[in-house]
Chain A
Amino acid sequence: MNNLIEKIRSDFPTLNVKVHGKKLIYLDNAATTHKPFIVINTLDNFYKLHNSNVHRGVHHLSQIATNLYENSREKVREFINARHFEEIIFTKGATESINLIAYSYGRYFLNEGDEIIISHMEHHSNIVPWQLLCKEKKLKLRIIPIDDDGNLILEEYYKLLNEKTKIVSIVHISNTLGTINPIDKIIEEAKKYNAITIIDASQSIQHIPIDVQKLNCDFLVFSGHKIYGPTGTGILYGKKEILEEMPPYQSGGDMIKSVSFDRTIFNDLPYKFEAGTPNIAGFVGLSAAIDYINNYGFDYISNYENQLLEYATRKLTAIENLKIIGNSSKKASVISFVINNIHPHDIGTLLDNEGIALRTGQHCTEPIMRRYNIPATSRVSLCFYNTIDEINVLYNEIIKIINIFN
Chain B
Amino acid sequence: MNEIQELYQQVILDHNKNPRNYGEIADATNIAEGHNPLCGDHIKITAIIENDIIKDLKFKGSGCAISKASASIMSTLVIGKTVEEAKKLFDVFHKIVTSDIRDRIETIELGKMAVFAGVREYPARVKCASLSWHTLMQALDKAQKDSTKVSTEIILN
Contact = CB atoms under 8 A, between A and B. Distances in A.
Contact of A345 (B4, B17, B42, B64): B64
Interface in A329-384: 341-346, 349-350, 353, 360-362, 366, 369, 375-376
A58 interface: no
A362 B40 contact: yes
Nearest to B7: A349
Contacts of A404: 8, 13
A11 B64 CA distance: 37
A343 B64 contact: yes
A361 B7 contact: no
B128 interface: yes
Contacts of B38: 361
Contacts of B37: 362, 366
Contact of B39 (A341, A353, A360): A360
Interface in A199-257: none
B39 A349 contact: no
Interface residue range, chain A: 10 to 19
Contacts of B40: 361-362, 366, 369, 375-376
Given A345-B64, A350-B4, A404-B8, A361 B13 contact: no
Interface residues of B, number: 23
Contacts of B128: 345
Contacts of B3: 353
B156 to A, nearest CB: 14
B4 A375 contact: no
* Interface core residue of A344, A349, A360, A405 (most chain B CB under 10 Å): A349
B15 to A, nearest CB: 12
A404 B10 CA distance: 9
A341 B65 CA distance: 9
Interface of A: 341-346, 349-350, 353, 360-362, 366, 369, 375-376, 404-405
Given A343-B62, A349-B125, A350-B8, 9 more contacts: A343-B39, A344-B64, A345-B39, A345-B128, A349-B4, A349-B124, A375-B39, A375-B40, A404-B13
